[in-house]
């Protein structure tokens, strides 16, 4: 093979390098992307979620790989799929009965090519290395799309905050940070929240970091407003999801006003997705949690949403209680053996905001049957590979998580900027910056889709646009 130079990475549209680095023949993937995927399957055979995230990404990169001999030569894809560092640790803590409990903690530092590692912490019993790695991998390209200088990472624990007292959650967070603190820092790795980690947990984690290091720095984002947090950070993921979805809809001559929407989950992302959809004149008729869903044909009004916020963030109750509170609301218990009932309701747009793989093939078929025009991914990787194929094969506009939920980390980036400045910006300013970032993401992913894939294939658009910046930085920084 010719040795490509270290010069800045550009897509050579006219340069058919396929003969040099391998060609497709009748294969689904190019030799190069297939080789990288096979390597992941071989080295981590049990990491299904990580494999899924890598597969979807490589399918997009497949479309440009012929034009990028440098990527092959410098083994950019192999390096991208291998975390720079993984930390796994024991988290001992004492419950309210005085018994010792042990959990497992993780931090996956996937890529620092374009900035300090950045990405949330998840506390959920399902957490394992595969889930941590898929989330960290997605985060790398999501952070790149924001245009801000942030690398990618993710962490968490199999600790289940559900049913724990505040004191237990505090002791767990303190023990978790007692190990994590040595791996993070305002210019090294800046965690935030995710499933099971909200304002309460970030407060305890920050307090312990400060106590151990004797430093008050912007080492975590999602902090409370009284100790270095940013306006609009709690709202940012949900608001950003709606801003990006609106931009996509407008590109196709559609809008949110007067439309019926399905939202799953009832946590941070779901709550502020509903808030912004309401503000823009849409009607949301569903919410869910891990035990069931509610269908409110009259719509989850701002007043009802306030009830949900109190129920979920303060009382830490179940979504079933909503159906007991309001008339005309149906509650359906979740049965993991059957399709998710949230996706079997007639509506215009759907916003999965709970967790990965919550839309499987049968759910996607239900969405198509019900005439859904857009799926905006608030959760990370909510659609299985087959579900994605069903949706896109039926011309449903798919706003992929990497782009659609990037608003959260974008405002985390703005929180870091404010911490560095020792300033706190107004709500209006942060919201304006968020809208600008989501608008830029829309332009970048739609241009990349149109140029290198198919118009409106935002999955390819997001993967390709996110990838190019990280790849260029990796080329410039040499083999590290």
Enumerate the active-site residues: 154
Chain centre to alpha carbon of residue 226: 26
Q: Which is nearer to ligand NDP, 270 or 274 (CB)?
A: 270
Structure token digits, residue 279:
């503000």
Taking the complex as a whole, the smallest distance from the CB of residue 286 to ligand NDP amounts, in Å, to 12
Taking the complex as a whole, the smallest distance from the CB of residue 9 to ligand NDP amounts, in Å, to 28
Q: Strands 152-157 and 100-111: what pairing?
A: antiparallel
Q: How far apart are the C-alpha atoms of 437 and 443, rounded to whole Å? A: 10
- Site stretch for ligand NDP (CB under 6 A), options 99-107, 325-333, 350-358, 421-429: 350-358
| Sole binder of ligand NDP in the list 195, 391, 416, 473 (CB under 6 A) | 195
Taking the complex as a whole, the smallest distance from the CB of residue 50 to ligand NDP amounts, in Å, to 15
Q: How far apart are the C-alpha atoms of 292 and 341, rounded to whole Å? A: 9
Q: Which is nearer to ligand NDP, 278 or 355 (CB)?
A: 355
Asked if residues 399 and 392 have their Cβ atoms less than 8 Å apart, the reply is no
Site for ligand NDP in 368-407 (CB under 6 A): 378-380, 405
Asked if residues 269 and 241 have their Cβ atoms less than 8 Å apart, the reply is yes
- Site stretch for ligand NDP (CB under 6 A), options 30-38, 49-57, 192-200, 420-428: 192-200
Asked if 196 is part of the footprint of ligand NDP (rule: CB under 6 A), the reply reads yes
Q: Which of 322, 324, 292 is nearest to 308 (CA)?
A: 322
| Sole binder of ligand NDP in the list 408, 413, 461, 466 (CB under 6 A) | 408
Site string for ligand NDP, 112-131 (x = CB under 6 A): ------------x-------
Angle at 209 between CA 203 and CA 214, to 5 degrees: 120
Chain centre to alpha carbon of residue 479: 28
Q: Which is nearer to ligand NDP, 33 or 340 (CB)?
A: 340
| Sole binder of ligand NDP in the list 32, 70, 275, 289 (CB under 6 A) | 289
| Sole binder of ligand NDP in the list 193, 341, 400, 461 (CB under 6 A) | 193
Q: Which is nearer to ligand NDP, 76 or 294 (CB)?
A: 294
Taking the complex as a whole, the smallest distance from the CB of residue 37 to ligand NDP amounts, in Å, to 24
Taking the complex as a whole, the smallest distance from the CB of residue 60 to ligand NDP amounts, in Å, to 20
The residue whose Cβ lies closest to ligand NDP is: 267
Q: Which is nearer to ligand NDP, 9 or 430 (CB)?
A: 430
Asked if 355 is part of the footprint of ligand NDP (rule: CB under 6 A), the reply reads yes
Site for ligand NDP in 259-278 (CB under 6 A): 265-270
Q: Which is nearer to ligand NDP, 290 or 435 (CB)?
A: 290
Q: Which is nearer to ligand NDP, 50 or 452 (CB)?
A: 50
Taking the complex as a whole, the smallest distance from the CB of residue 104 to ligand NDP amounts, in Å, to 18
| Sole binder of ligand NDP in the list 170, 323, 353, 437 (CB under 6 A) | 353
Q: Which residues bind ligand NDP (CB under 6 A)?
A: 124, 193-196, 198, 237, 265-270, 289-291, 353-355, 378-380, 405, 408
């Amino acid at each position: 093979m010719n040795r490509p130079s270290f010069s800045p990475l550009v897509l050579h549209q006219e340069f058919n390098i396929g003969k040099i680095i391998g060609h497709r023949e009748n294969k689904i993937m190019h030799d190069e992307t297939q080789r990288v995927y096979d390597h992941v399957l071989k080295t981590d055979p049990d990491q299904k979620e990580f494999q899924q995230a890598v597969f979807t990404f490589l399918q997009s990169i497949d479309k440009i790989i012929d034009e990028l001999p440098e990527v092959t030569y410098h083994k950019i894809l192999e390096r991208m799929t291998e975390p720079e560092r993984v930390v796994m640790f024991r988290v001992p803590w004492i419950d309210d009965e005085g018994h010792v409990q042990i959990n497992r903690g993780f931090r996956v530092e996937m890529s620092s090519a374009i900035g300090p590692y950045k990405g949330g912490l998840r506390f959920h019993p399902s957490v394992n290395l595969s889930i941590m790695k898929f989330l960290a991998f997605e985060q790398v390209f999501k952070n790149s799309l924001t245009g801000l200088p942030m690398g990618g990472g993710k962490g968490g624990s199999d600790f289940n905050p559900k049913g724990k007292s505040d004191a237990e959650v505090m002791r767990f967070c303190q023990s978790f940070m007692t190990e994590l603190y040595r791996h993070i820092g305002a210019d090294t790795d800046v965690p935030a929240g995710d499933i099971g980690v909200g304002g309460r947990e970030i407060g305890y984690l920050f307090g312990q970091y400060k106590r151990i290091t004797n430093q008050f720095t912007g080492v975590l984002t999602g902090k409370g407003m009284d100790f270095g947090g940013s306006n609009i950070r709690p709202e940012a993921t949900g608001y950003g999801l709606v801003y990006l979805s609106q931009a996509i809809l407008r590109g196709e001559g559609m809008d949110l006003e007067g439309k019926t929407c399905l939202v799953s989950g009832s946590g941070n992302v779901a709550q502020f997705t509903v808030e912004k959809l309401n503000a823009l004149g849409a009607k949301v008729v569903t919410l869910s949690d891990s035990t069931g869903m509610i269908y409110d044909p009259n719509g989850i009004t701002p007043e009802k949403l306030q009830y949900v916020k109190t129920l979920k963030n303060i009382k830490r109750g179940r979504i079933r209680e909503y159906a007991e509170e309001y008339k005309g609301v149906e509650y359906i218990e979740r049965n993991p053996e059957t399709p998710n009932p949230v996706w079997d309701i007639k509506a215009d747009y759907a916003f999965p905001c709970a967790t990965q793989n919550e839309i499987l093939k049968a759910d996607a078929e239900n969405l198509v049957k019900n005439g859904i025009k857009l799926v905006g991914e608030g959760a990370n990787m909510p659609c299985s590979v087959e579900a994605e194929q069903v949706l896109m094969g039926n011309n449903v506009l798919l706003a992929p998580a990497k782009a659609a939920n990037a608003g959260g980390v974008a405002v985390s980036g703005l929180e870091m900027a404010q911490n560095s400045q020792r300033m706190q910006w107004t709500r209006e300013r942060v919201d304006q910056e968020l809208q600008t970032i989501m608008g830029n993401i829309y332009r970048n992913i739609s241009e990349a889709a149109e140029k290198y894939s198919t118009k409106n294939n935002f999955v390819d658009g997001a993967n390709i646009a996110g990838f190019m910046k990280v790849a260029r930085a990796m080329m410039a920084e040499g083999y590290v």
